[in-house]
Amino acid sequence: REFEFRLREALPRQEFEIHYQPIVDLGTYRPCTVEALVRWRHPELGLIPPDKFIPVAEETGLIIPLGEWILDAACHTGATWPDHVRLAVNLSAIQFRSGNLVDAVRGALARSGLPAARLELEITESVLLQKDHGTLAVLHELAGLGVHIVLDDFGTGYSSLSYLQLFPFSKIKIDKSFVADLSSRTDCAAIVSTVTNLAKALDMGTTAEGVETWEQVTLLRAVGCREAQGWLFGRPVPAVALCFEAAPFR
């Protein structure tokens, strides 16, 4: 396919770019982490979002070199941020099967100088679908480097509470579908509250995704959720547009 061919060419043509979205500490209203989100600057079609090309990159194996480029580029940028700001990078299940994910992460940290403790690796439940020893061994090796492992999009897809027992995640990201109707639906509030309490009992933190209103922030703080990400605080933007200094007055 034409699309697939162009996608293969995109890496050598330097058409990928990374945008960054802040994750805000709900105690201080300052960014504690910034998530790297890849985009493809297509010469004719413009900026293409990841859900349009990551699945194709996964099918074709391009996700391996692309994933390594993302780790390198994001770590170099993250290394320039203030010490208290962490970088979050998304990993694909395919990268776990490549055999060199641990080396790629170790290499990106070494080349960029980003301390391991300032890197969060976000994985979805699809990584844990293969409950084999290989995947878990890689997760433990990554954690052994000193990076944080975060469970993304929790509550969607094949999610199961048993995944929380498989690995000691640093944080759980509560999917934006539960946050969207937080102020209008008591069932969503119950789910967010319960997941936050469960996470706390397991010594994990929670991040609420897709936060768009202050009403949601008030409810999240009330149930003890400490971190929020969403358009209320900032859309994904190029690295140069990030601002770490100006905390909103509330």
Q: Which residues bind ligand G (CB under 6 A)?
A: 21, 36-38, 49-51, 54, 70, 90-92, 152-153, 176, 209-212, 229-231, 236
Contact indicator for 126, 158 with CB cutoff of 8 Å:
yes
Q: State how far the alpha carbon of 188 is from the alpha carbons of 18, 141, 146, 173, 191, in Å.
A: 32, 35, 34, 15, 5
Q: State how far the alpha carbon of 248 is from the alpha carbons of 38, 236, 238, in Å.
A: 27, 18, 21
**Can you give the C-alpha Rg of the chain in angstroms?**
18
What burial class does residue 15 get, using C-beta atoms within 10 Å of its C-beta: 0-12 exposed, 13-18 middle, 19+ buried? middle
**Shortest CB 89 distance to Mn ion, Å:** 9
**Shortest CB 122 distance to Mn ion, Å:** 4
The phi and psi torsions of 221 (rounded to 5 degrees) equal -60, -40
Neighbours of 163 (CB within 10 A): 18
Find the residue with minimal CB distance to ligand G.
230
Number of residues that bind Mn ion (CB under 5 A): 3
- Smaller CB distance to Na ion: residue 120 or 152? 152
- Of the candidates 58, 120, 153, 227, which one interacts with Na ion according to CB under 5 A? 153
State the binding string over 143-182 for Mn ion (x if CB under 5 A, else -): ---------x------------------------------
**Shortest CB 151 distance to ligand G, Å:** 11
- Smaller CB distance to Na ion: residue 68 or 153? 153
Contacts with 104 (C-beta within 8 Å, 6 or more apart), sequence order: 67, 68, 71, 95
Q: Based on the shown chain and the rule CB under 5 A, indicate whether residue 209 belongs to the binding site for Mn ion.
A: no
Binding site for Mn ion (CB under 5 A): 90, 122, 152
Binding site for Na ion (CB under 5 A): 152-153
